[in-house]
Chains A and B, each alone.
Chain A
Amino acid sequence: MFPIINIGPLAIQAPGLIIIIGLYVWLSINDYSAKKMNLDAATLSNHFFYSLLIGLAGARLAVIAQSPQSFISSPLSIVSPNLALFDFPSGVLITIFAFYIFTTSKKQDLLKTLDVLSLGFMVFLAFLALSFLANGKLYGTPANLPWSIELWGAKRHPLQLYYLIAFFLLAYPIYRLLHTKQPSGMIILSSLSFISASVIFLDAFRGSQALITAGVHLPQIIAFMALAFSLFGIKSLLNKEMIFSEQEING
């Protein structure tokens, strides 16, 4: 765990820094992917960046909405840079919604756009896992293995490292798909299936009690539904592609 990086008089919060670097890498990969798939990289970057800003504002507004009295008595807190005053789940949802609005309002192919984002997203998830290693969250169940890490008073599965390795490795097949001709939506659905499968497998080793009821891991259930959706979605895409090809052959 390394929540703070001390450089001289500066104490930098490592998890936040890692996420910012991850977002930058995601943006950079988007440019590369967009060129590969003949999409306007500049427009995509703009939509992505503005969506992130709207999401950030939304994350702050969500906190204000939950406790308006606290902000009425301390109005300067509305612009506080403190990360704890952002509701990140709300921010993510608002970012996704804003990006959807930007993309569809410009009549861009939404599925193709999501395909472009997929590779960078997979790499970003690896950075997110690294940030969890930095702040000690998403810790594993106690285990006495040669590769266990000492965290929170016990030797544990290095769950953050498992996710980090999984997402980096799974970025490779996505990279390969990017370099082959695929129907729109294939790459995002493939990414979703890989991520879901990872969560189904790895959540079994999570040490936190959150989102577990009577032994049932809620993230696994959600990931299973996402896996089923993505696999049937891939099948549907391939079916349409096959029918389209047959129609072309038959004239």
Chain B
Amino acid sequence: MKFLQKLNVFIPVILVLALLWIGLTTLLFESPSEQSTAPQAGFYAPDFTVADDESDPVALSDFEGQAVLLNFWASWCKPCQAEMPAIQHMHDKYGKDGLVILAVNVTNQDSISNAKAFLHDNNLSFDTLFDTKGTASDLYRVQALPTTFFITPDGIINEVVIGGPMSEALLETRILRILGR
């Protein structure tokens, strides 16, 4: 009985304290405002510059205002090979809708000749970049291949998919999201 009486006091006290803490959080704690850059969903995608197949520099910021699928791959990576046809199909289907596909070859762990041979043998026509010094893959903390970043037109990473191969359905659902459909 006494315990129940104590509970009659204890419960409202706990709830009032909880409400006070929620109030403090709302009024005094600084809400997370603009996000900095980081290779994580919810953050702005870090900018980088690497060379294309004609050795011209290409920066991620060159595609500001466009939805970007950023895929890190290597020619020896089996899951990377397996998902390339699906990525090509998405390029054919959504390229005209403003989707940019940047396939960044992790050339510091691969070779340009092998990568180019793979692209040629598989008739892959989307933009391929060569990260010869590993700067982009280090910046994006790529620890497994393939790793794919889906970036919205305002430059925010919508999702990170580590590993593969990604199916067409997975690619399409995520691409439609960053295209705003």
**A residues within 8 Å of B by Cβ?**
1, 3-4, 6, 11, 13, 63, 66-67, 69-71, 73-74, 76-78, 80, 82, 84-85, 136-137, 139, 141, 152-154, 197, 200-201, 203-204, 206-210, 212, 214-217, 220-221, 224, 227-228, 231-232, 234-235, 238-239, 242
Known: A217-B22, A238-B4. A82 touches B36 (CB 8 A): no
For A63, what are the chain B residues with a Cβ–Cβ distance below 8 Å? 173
Q: Size range of the interface on B?
A: 35 or more
- Asked if B159 contacts A204 (CB within 8 A), the reply is no
What is the minimal beta-carbon distance from B74 to any residue of chain A, in angstroms?
Answer: 13
For A80, what are the chain B residues with a Cβ–Cβ distance below 8 Å? 167, 169-170
What is the minimal beta-carbon distance from A54 to any residue of chain B, in angstroms?
Answer: 21
Q: Which of A67, A141, A231 contacts B169 (CB 8 A)?
A: A67
Chain B: CB-nearest residue to A205: B29
A80 to B16, CA, bound (A): 48
- Asked if B29 contacts A204 (CB within 8 A), the reply is yes
Q: Mark B161-181, 1 if CB is under 8 A from A, else 0.
A: 111101111101110100000
- Asked if A208 contacts B42 (CB within 8 A), the reply is yes
Q: Which of A74, A139, A210, A235 contacts B168 (CB 8 A)?
A: A74
- Asked if B22 contacts A212 (CB within 8 A), the reply is no
A78 to B174, CA, bound (A): 16
Chain A: CB-nearest residue to B3: A238
- Asked if B11 contacts A232 (CB within 8 A), the reply is yes
Known: A70-B169, A200-B22, A231-B11. A13 touches B162 (CB 8 A): yes
- Asked if A204 contacts B40 (CB within 8 A), the reply is no
For A208, what are the chain B residues with a Cβ–Cβ distance below 8 Å? 32, 42
A228 to B3, CA, bound (A): 18
By Cβ-Cβ distance, the 5 closest A-B pairs, closest first, are A77-B169, A74-B168, A77-B167, A152-B38, A70-B172
- Asked if A224 contacts B19 (CB within 8 A), the reply is yes
- Asked if B25 contacts A220 (CB within 8 A), the reply is yes
For A84, what are the chain B residues with a Cβ–Cβ distance below 8 Å? 159, 161, 166, 170, 174
Known: A152-B40, A154-B36, A215-B26. A209 touches B31 (CB 8 A): yes
Known: A227-B14, A227-B18. A73 touches B43 (CB 8 A): no
Known: A74-B169, A80-B170, A212-B32. A200 touches B21 (CB 8 A): yes
What is the minimal beta-carbon distance from B55 to any residue of chain A, in angstroms?
Answer: 30
Known: A70-B172, A84-B159, A217-B26; 10 extra A-B contacts, CB below 8 A, are A4-B144, A13-B144, A67-B173, A141-B29, A224-B18, A228-B15, A234-B7, A235-B8, A235-B11, A238-B7
For A235, what are the chain B residues with a Cβ–Cβ distance below 8 Å? 4, 7-8, 11
- Asked if A239 contacts B4 (CB within 8 A), the reply is yes
Q: Mark B25-50, 1 if CB is under 8 A from A, else 0.
A: 11101111101111011110000000
